[in-house]
Amino acid sequence: MEQVKVVLQDREIPKKWYNIMADLPTPMKPPLHPGTGQPVTPNDLAAIFPMNIIEHETSNKRWIKIPDEVLQKYLLWRPSPLYRAYNFEKLLNCPVKIYYKNEGVSPAGSHKPNAAIPMAYYNKVAGTKRITTETGAGQWGSALSMACQMFGLICRVYMVKISYEQKPYRRMMMNTWGAECIPSPSNLTQAGRNVLAEHPDSPGSLGIAISEAIEDCVTSKDTKYSLGSVLNHVLLYQSIIGLEAQKQMQKLGIYPDVVMGCCGGGSNFAGIASPFVCDKIHGKDVKIVGAEPSSCPSMTKGPFAYDFGDLAKTTPLLPMYTLGHDYVPAPIHAGGLRYHGMAPIVSHMVREKLVEPRAYDQLKTFDAGVKWARSEGFIPAPETNHVLAAVVDEAMRAKEEGKEKVILFNWSGHGLVDLAAYDAYLAGKLQAYELPDHEVERALNAIKDFPKP
């Protein structure tokens, strides 16, 4: 028998999160207040986040202690298993060993609860009663609904309309965990009403849903807002993935040549990658690859610029690769990757050549996902299929180069609530969207008057 997985004991769970901000070789550009053009202060963020989370957002401390209450919830499914994908390796027939972290074992089915649990916890401690948020595919919304229920908070989720329609089971999960789920754009907010007035059939986007959730937060009592990706504190909480993976790989006595993840706002990718990026900064020879959709290719086609995180321009200006805050991506099934920007930390790592971005179209990603399901059994989320396409690509490169490689990647979630997407793919109904060049021009136009990083 070959060893298929490495499982850590409860007592071996990492007790601190790792903050890559402490090790970046060059300083990041600060987020700017859109009114003053000056770096945002903690007080600027206090209307939407509690101070304990703002401290993490702005922290340069390398290690941050995970509260016992958070660890206790993490133990419901963490440490997540590290698997060797022997069957997929056999199918690919390339000189690669493939290891992956299975984040699909969480109650919500993805990595998202890693951040949702601490966010609900810190809000509870700070006296928040109600949280608003947005969700793309519904993974984040369901994770936060569960976390809010665990800590006794009310939760309202604005869900991108196209996903709300494509994925009714995610809404049902949110409702089961006691949250309210609203299709966005909605007529509950001015931001939503503005979009509906111009585009009554808008499929929605994360940018629009964020505007709605923030507006709801700042116009309601005892309410804070929660973002499921992009910001520094979210990436910090996700570092538990990479920290566990390092322990597990150490137990096998193996170090990866390539570390990979799919990128929507950047949180699961940074989660697995940041401890390895730290090693790379300190001289280790490791390649780090982020996979994004070719229909929403912020890192591979967008400019690095200051831009808003949302359509209604309510967030600070963030230094990031962006397709413009008004970009509405094609309605691909990987709803969690339909975001116009990329986390400032991930964007910075790309600029510093610590991370290599690659883009894959929807058909390639589903081809890889179906191959995976038919060999390894687990059915991946459409978002996760992007990293699988990158793994296939990397394995083929290894074959061409005649080199043996160890690949480690993050299997960000299962696709059991996304079967309609597989149905459409198997029936030949999915399209391979590419971002047309005129869209890049439009993106540049949307941000041309903003400060330059």
Ligand X SMILES: Cc1ncc(COP(=O)(O)O)c(C=O)c1O
Interacting residues toward ligand X by CB under 6 A: 110, 136-137, 139-140, 229, 262-269, 336-337, 381, 383-384, 412-413
| Beta carbons of 238 and 111 less than 8 angstroms apart | yes
Nearer of residues 264 and 319 to ligand X, judged by Cβ: 264
Nearer residue to ligand X within complex by CB, 110 or 145: 110
Q: Residue 153 and residue 134: Cα distance in Å, rounded?
A: 16
- Dist. CA 214–CA 224, nearest whole Å: 8
CB 255, CB 276: distance < 8 Å: no
User: Least distance in Å: CB of 3 to ligand X?
Assistant: 26
Q: How far is the CB of 129 from ligand X (least distance, A)?
A: 26
CA distance 415 to 246: 26
Helices in 177-285 by DSSP H: which ranges?
190-198, 206-218, 232-252, 267-281
Shorter beta-carbon distance to ligand X: residue 192 or 336: 336
Shortest reach from residue 324's CB to ligand X, in Å: 19
- Distance CA(412)–CA(100), nearest Å, equals 10
By beta-carbon proximity to ligand X, the closer residue of 74 and 140 is: 140
Helices 113-126 and 139-150, interaxial angle, to 10°?
Answer: 40
Nearest-approach distance from CB 383 to ligand X, in angstroms: 3
Is 138 or 324 the residue whose CB approaches ligand X more closely?
A: 138
What b/e string do you get for 39-72 counting C-beta neighbours within 10 Å, with b at 16 or more?
Answer: ebeeebbeebbbeebbebbbeeeeebebeeebbe
3-class DSSP assignment, residue 209: helix
Q: What is the Cα–Cα distance from 418 to 431, expressed in whole angstroms?
A: 17
Q: How far is the CB of 310 from ligand X (least distance, A)?
A: 15
Q: Which is nearer to ligand X, 113 or 266 (CB)?
A: 266
Q: Cβ 251 to ligand X, closest distance in Å?
A: 26
Neighbours of 135 (CB within 10 A): 31
Q: To the nearest whole angstrom, how small is the minimum distance from the Cβ of residue 408 to ligand X?
A: 16
Under a CB-based contact definition with an 8 Å cutoff, are residues 133 and 228 in contact? Answer: yes
Nearer to ligand X, 232 or 412 (CB): 412
Q: What is the DSSP string of 144-186?
A: HHHHHHHTT-EEEEEEEHHHHHH-HHHHHHHHHTT-EEEEES-
Rg over CA atoms, the chain = 20
Cβ count near 445 (within 10 Å):
11
Shortest distance, position 48 Cβ to ligand X, whole Å? 18
Closest chain position to ligand X (CB) = 336
Q: Which is nearer to ligand X, 269 or 425 (CB)?
A: 269
Closest approach of ligand X to the CB of residue 106, in Å: 10
Nearer to ligand X, 45 or 263 (CB): 263
